[in-house]
Structure 1
Amino acid sequence: MRDEARGVSTEERPRPQDAARPAEGARPPARRGGLAPTGGEDIMTPGHPQRHYTLICPVCHRRTADDGLVLTCGEDHPAAFLRTGYQESRLTVCPDSDGLYRYRRWLPITRTLAGAGGTIVSRGERLGRALGLRDLWIAFNGYWPERGAHLRSATFKELEAYTVLGRLPDRPPILVIPSVGNTGAAFASVFAQTGGECVIIVPERGLHRLASETELPSAVRLVALTGGDYDDAIGLGERVSRLPGFQAVGGAWNVARRDGLATVLLSAAETMGRLPEFYVQAVGSAVGAIAVHEAAGRLIASGEYGQARPRLLMCQNASYAPVRDLWRFGSVGRGHAARDVYADELTNRNPPYFVRGGIRDALAESGGRVLVADHASARAAAELFLETEGIDIEPAASVALACLREAVAGGEVSSGASVLLNITGGGRAHPARARLLRRVEPTLRLGREELGSPETPGRIGALFPSADGVVRAARV
């Protein structure tokens, strides 16, 4: 079921009455396993029992104490993304913490996980010369240990996973994670450290992205859709999340996902000492771009990073560009197939465009634009990055680089502009990683004809032995 008028799916727009916490009838805490020790740090100590932030609704300005699961305001007004209000108004770096947890004072978390990775920001001098840019900065998210990049899934989605896991209560519900593959790989990797339960739903053609050094942990169930696409995964995820004891991870509605991805800009601000004029990223749901826009506002409010937010350049496939269509025409065109794309991770048909604080607002407030790149341009961009920087990058990152290349050539970005290019994934083919990977087999395969069956959500619920009997019998 979709809210076409708003351009978002019901998974992307959770119902206030049931999205803020597990569904009525969820398994009682005594029957749920808690999160396992992570080797990190418990931030909520007996001397500091309260979370260091509250959740703020931008419409009614209501402040809500977080329980680790809240996704929406719950008041009767137009849908809006909650935002985090932190006790500390200035960016504080915690050098003793791993990876993105360096910025934990601006993360909605109660615990850290040992060995977390983060974004590596550096000048892109060789790539900049090839593009004709004198002040290019690269935010690399992936696996490149020689440069200090240790995201095992080779994607920036790991930043989301580390923050979502750090935000959850001690006895969380089973999270439902629809994915093209990258998000699933990131959550599987991080969940392996905690023992938390989740079900990952992916199109079968995205299974290769979940290749791992180890088998999936027992608490993670993987459902592959034969012949299905990302929209099918989202739709099935909506239905599974209504089962007792399950909850959608929340997409862009989850403040942990957004603030985790916002650390890309925090890392850049720490390294550069300023904000860039342009921020370039390939987008599907645009959670990362929205997050960077929010973080820029927080940095500006601190009084230490100027007054201008970076202009957002959101990038998509030329053959299928829902965000571009919404930006230009107010609706998504139906003339192209989502399968005819260079980067299938950018194919969310219902991105959060019209919601308050969503894509439309971020583009308008930043003076941003939506750009597209075709297959040939993206392939050439991937080759250029490998030649100039020495590492492979993911298809989505190639689309972003191709769009930046065309924007510079066309004069939209001047040669002297300060530009931050988010390489959202890279290093998948790094020898130290690739030689250890093994194919991951799904727990359950579903044919396209099975997706609409009322028994299908219950079949998925039954994959978890600890789930209540009502889950197994559920028809959604």
Structure 2
Amino acid sequence: MSRVRPGTRHYTVVCSSCGTRYEDDGLVLDCSRRHEPAFLRTEYDGTGAQAGVGTGLFRHAPLLPVTRTFPDVPGPVVHRAQRLGRRIGLDRLWVAFSGHWPERGAQLPTCTFKDLEAYTVLGRLPAAPPVLVIPSAGNTAAAFAWAATLHRVHCLLVVPAPALERMRFPAPLDPCVRLVVLDGAATYSDAIACAELLAALPGHHAEGGSRNVGRRDGLGTVMLAAAEVLGRLPESYVQAVGSGTGAIGAHEAARRVRAHGEPLPRLLMCQNAPFAPLYDAWRSADPAPVPVPAHREHEPLARELTNRRPPFAVRGGVRDVLTESGGDVRCTDNEAALAALALFEEVEGIDIEPGAGVALAALADAARTGQVRRDELVLLNITGGGRARQAQDIALVPAEPWLRVAWPGRDEGPRCVARQVERMLTGAAAVTEGR
């Protein structure tokens, strides 16, 4: 099996629209040519090598855009969920679990599959990277904060205040991790708007979200792990989505490893009403996501899914992968998601995140209505779980924000945050120079 040699790149980055090929510098996010919005994607050296040696995330390093790996990074755990399947009317249900579940061997440090993307993005970076700027609703920030703390990578994280509930770690964060918290009524969309301005600061760089091939390929290891366990690809793949990055990554991974003539898994993406722009866009003749009133971002149980600008019409984005896989987007409400959370914990014995509850509720409904056959081979991505269990097993320390900003509203908010961050950075530089 091929392995990753430190400092070398065993892949090429290719534009999904024009086919222009790039030697990756670890930071490129977009094609330099003028055309429709389009994702870059990765093409790997060799054919069919989906796993190297060892265990965990970097077992899949031959199909990850990294020049270095990190030790002891767990991966997702795939198991058959017969009892859960029987409860929702499925005979061949498998679960890919990302989180903290020691009895199953699941040990992701911040309890969601965002750990998979964080370590892959860090492994893709050049030797002396700029400060990565990353907006988050909570889970992504937690994953990057802890990975960057352990490996001394500078990053600036921007989150709305409710995200602090998920920012608890086995030790304090390293000073190289700067956490900006937006107080008041700020939302995930507001964090994204702020991050766009902050990424333009000297020495800073946008991490890129769904545009970053490291994110998509890191999350795609869920599909790689499942293919290893199943000995084939599933017929359907079910996941809750905000941007759809994880589902796109799973689809791209399936394309790389499928056997000749093997069909791609049908993607079933799941959103949480009343904030469901991908669901609305998929059912609309207009390729742009349908605008959703700002106050609705606070209403879903799974706030991590409230991405106002998902990459729906981007070449290689959500619409393309749904079309190619024969997939669909389903929507479920808070009541159904809460019932699904309780069902999973009752049957499987572990708590799961709200987004995972949305996915289970949508899958159960799809089984009831016949969209998913009883005998279909289904992979359900439980994107996060075991947070309550982890709090029992490990003493966790709440993260200390580097800066808290009273959110003045959407019109002035991003510029206000950018000014305050600049003042903080200027002050920190002056202190350093004075030593």
Q: TM-score range by the shorter chain?
A: over 0.9
Aligned match of 2:78: 121
Distance 1:373 1:221 in 2: 35
Of 161, 171, 177, the match for 1:204 = 161
- Equivalent residue runs for 1:40-439 within 5 Å: 43-45=4-6, 50-96=8-54, 98-227=55-184, 228-300=186-258, 303=260, 306-329=261-284, 330=286, 331-334=289-292, 337-431=296-390, 435-439=394-398
Using the TM superposition, give the Cα deviation of residue 95 of structure 1 relative to its aligned residue in structure 2, in angstroms.
Answer: 2.8
What residue ranges of structure 1 are gaps of 5+ in the alignment?
Answer: 1-41, 470-476
- Structure 1 contact 332–349 (Cα < 8 Å) conserved: no
Normalising by structure 2, we get a TM-score of 0.93
Superposed displacement of residue 135, structure 1 = 0.6
User: Residue 270 of structure 2: SS of its match in structure 1?
Assistant: strand
Which residue number in structure 2 is paired with residue 33 of structure 1?
none
Counterpart contact for 2:149–2:173, Cα < 8 Å: yes
- Counterparts of 1:434 and 1:235 in 2: how far apart (Å)? 37
User: Size of the alignment, in residue pairs?
Assistant: 421
CA distance 1:333–1:70, change in 2 (3 Å)? closer
Partner letter of residue 222 of structure 1? L
**Kept in 2: contact 1:200–1:223 (CA 8 A):** yes
Per-residue deviation, 1:463: 4.2
Between the aligned partners of 1:444 and 1:143, the Cα distance in structure 2 is 29
- How far, CA to CA, are the matches of 1:436 and 1:196 in structure 2? 24
**For the residues of structure 1 that align with 2:85 and 2:192, how far apart are their CA atoms?**
38
Whether contact under 8 Å (1:221, 1:463) holds in the other structure is: no
* Native 8 Å contact 2:4 2:62 kept in 1: no
**Alpha-carbon shift at residue 44 of structure 1 (Å):** 3.5
Question: Contact 2:243–2:305 at 8 Å: present in 1 too?
Answer: yes
What whole-Å deviation, never above 9, does each CA across 1:242-287 have from its counterpart, x for those lacking one?
1111011101100000000000000000000011111000000000
Counterpart residue type for residue 420 of structure 1? L
TM normalised by structure 1 equals 0.85
Cα distance change on mapping 1:382 and 1:166 into 2, 3 Å:
same
Q: State the alpha-carbon separation in 2 of the partners of residues 466 and 276 from structure 1.
A: 54
Specify whether residues 468 and 63 from structure 1 end up closer, same or farther in structure 2 by C-alpha distance, changes over 3 A only: farther
User: 1:434 Cα deviation (Å)?
Assistant: 5.6
SS at match of 1:193: helix
CA distance in 2, matches of 1:58, 1:453: 31
**SS of 2:150 mapped into structure 1:** coil
The change in CA–CA distance for 1:361 and 1:390 in structure 2 (over 3 A counts) is: same
C-alpha contact 1:57 1:82 (8 A) present in aligned 2 = yes
Q: Structure 2: which amino acid aligns with 1:65? A: E
| CA deviation after TM superposition for structure 1 residue 459, in Å | 2.8
Pair 1:92–1:343, CA change in 2 (3 A) = closer
The equivalent residue for 1:25 is: none
Find the aligned partners of 1:75 and 1:431 in 2 and give their Cα distance. Answer: 47
Cα distance in 2 for residues equivalent to 1:63 and 1:466: 42
CA distance in 2, matches of 1:281, 1:447: 34
**DSSP 3-state at the match of 2:151:** coil
1:413 and 1:458, CA in 2 relative to 1: closer, same or farther beyond 3 A?
same
What CA distance in whole angstroms lies between the structure 1 residues aligned with 2:248 and 2:38? 13
Q: Supply the distance in 1 between the matched residues of 2:9 and 2:249 (Cα, whole angstroms).
A: 21
CA distance in 1, matches of 2:403, 2:158: 10
Task: Work out the CA distance in 1 between the residues paired with 2:393 and 2:355.
Answer: 19
Higher helix share: 2
Q: 1:161 to 1:431 in 2, by over 3 A?
A: closer
Determine if contact 2:93/2:378 at 8 Å carries over to the other structure: yes
- 1:109 is displaced (CA, Å) by 0.3
Which runs of at least 4 in structure 1 moved beyond 6 Å after TM superposition?
465-469
Residue 400 of structure 1: how far off its partner (Å):
0.2
Provide the C-alpha distance between the structure 2 equivalents of 1:214 and 1:462, rounded to a whole number of angstroms: 28
User: What is the distance in 2 between the residues matched to 1:121 and 1:261?
Assistant: 14
Specify every segment of 5 or more residues in structure 2 that has no aligned partner in the other structure, as ranges. Answer: 431-435
Structure 2: how far apart are the matches of 1:340 and 1:387?
A: 26
- The alignment-based identity, stated in percent, is 51
> Cα RMSD over matched residues?
1.8
The aligned counterpart of 1:39 is none
Query: What CA deviation, in whole Å up to 9, does each residue of 1:365-421 have, x standing for no partner?
Result: 111111111111111101110111110000000000000001101111111001000
Contact 1:322 1:332 in 2 (8 A): yes
The 2-side partners of 1:174 and 1:468 are apart by 14
Q: Any idea what SS the aligned residue of 1:192 has?
A: helix
The 1-side partners of 2:232 and 2:414 are apart by 53
Distance 1:178 1:400, change over 3 A: same
CA distance in 1, matches of 2:290, 2:302: 18
User: Does the aligned pair in 1 maintain the 2:79–2:94 contact within 8 Å?
Assistant: yes
Alignment of 1:443-458 (within 5 A): 443-449=402-408, 452=413, 454=415, 456-458=417-419
Contact 2:251–2:321 (Cα < 8 Å) also in 1: yes
